[in-house]
Amino acid sequence: MKNLTNLELLIQQYCRDAGFPSYGFTSPVLDDKYRKHLETWLSSGNQADMNWMKKNVCERTDLTIRFPWVKSVLVVAENYFSDYPNRHDEAVIARYSRGEDYHRILEQKLKKLLTKLKMADSSIIGKTYVDTSAVLEKAFAVSAGLGWQGKNATIIIENVGSFCFLGVLLLNREFPVGAETPNRCGSCEKCLKSCPGNAISEPGFVDARKCNAYLTIEKKGNFSNEEKSGLQKCLYGCDICQSACPWNHLWAKQATEIRYFNHSEMLDRSLFDWEKLTVADFQDFFKDSPIHRLKYDRFRRNITALRNL
């Protein structure tokens, strides 16, 4: 059997070289508290019309059901924060989508690591996921010790904050599991109080039906008058609760991966300019952006809703 310590050192060195501010290992089988939390969240209809989230609940917290070979889960975090000063605040685009598609960038980095591991040990089996399948990335991140889950359900990482992408690499090797980080939100409720739709019904429970991130990205069809009234100039996504977090005020700093914010200037447009956007413009602007999956019609819906506020 290959020396697991050498593989662990290889992973640690790669994560440092890749610029991941936090990373860690955990078991592929989560503590039962995570499944119960998910089931409680779903039972109240917080998933809105994202009914796919109700499928395979057990598989989300026990990855060995689908992948019996998995022994460890490596979770990595990637900082995407940018302090680019928007000149136009009547049509705000969330920070995570102000650059190239994070799915592609982060998955490429994880696949490169997997290739290195296979070169060191040909018996290595691995699989990467970046926000694209039935994996509870945030729960695995907490279990791996990357950070704690804030009251707005984001992962808060020491010296980084919550403006982070998460990626996972499933491996058929067992590595030392990280220790969970104590929750340091205390009595603070700034994220709850800042949410324009009061979507954070209680700490750790976000009602998608009232959340601007869901409404402007995932929701199909037109907005109700109540939904429109709470959009708060959000054209795509929402950073309001994260921007209110004191830990982000203390820790958030410019990402080193410039591809996560290299479209910031191009997207800094007035609502009037966005109204002139054609289908061809949309395809050209967002061809390598996470916004592309929204499609033109829903992007126009968002523009129209902000114009009619």
Phi and psi of 250, rounded to 5°?
Answer: -85, -40
Q: What is the pLDDT of residue 1?
A: 41
Q: 241 and 140, same structural domain?
A: no
203 and 125 housed in the same domain: no
How many folded domains does the chain comprise? 2
Q: Are strands 234-236 and 92-93 parallel, antiparallel or unpaired?
A: parallel
CA distance 88 to 175: 48
Pairing of strands 126-129, 205-206: unpaired
What 8-state DSSP symbol labels residue 54?
Answer: G
* Three-class SS state of 79: strand
Q: Is 131 a catalytic residue?
A: yes
Residue 185 covered by a domain: no
Residues 151, 244 within the same domain: no
How far apart CA 184 and CA 182 sit, in angstroms, is 6
**pTM recorded for the entire structure:** 0.95
Residue in 89, 131, 273, 284 annotated catalytic: 131
Q: What is the mean pLDDT of each run of 10 residues along the chain (309 residues)?
A: 75 96 97 94 92 85 96 98 88 96 97 97 96 88 98 98 98 95 97 96 94 96 94 96 98 97 94 96 94 96 92
Axis crossing angle, helix 102-120 with helix 4-18, rounded to the nearest 10: 150
Q: Print the domain residue range for 121.
A: 4-83+99-171
Question: Cα–Cα distance between 76 and 134 in angstroms, integer?
Answer: 17
* Residue 177 located in a structural domain: no
Whether residues 212 and 160 fall in one domain: no
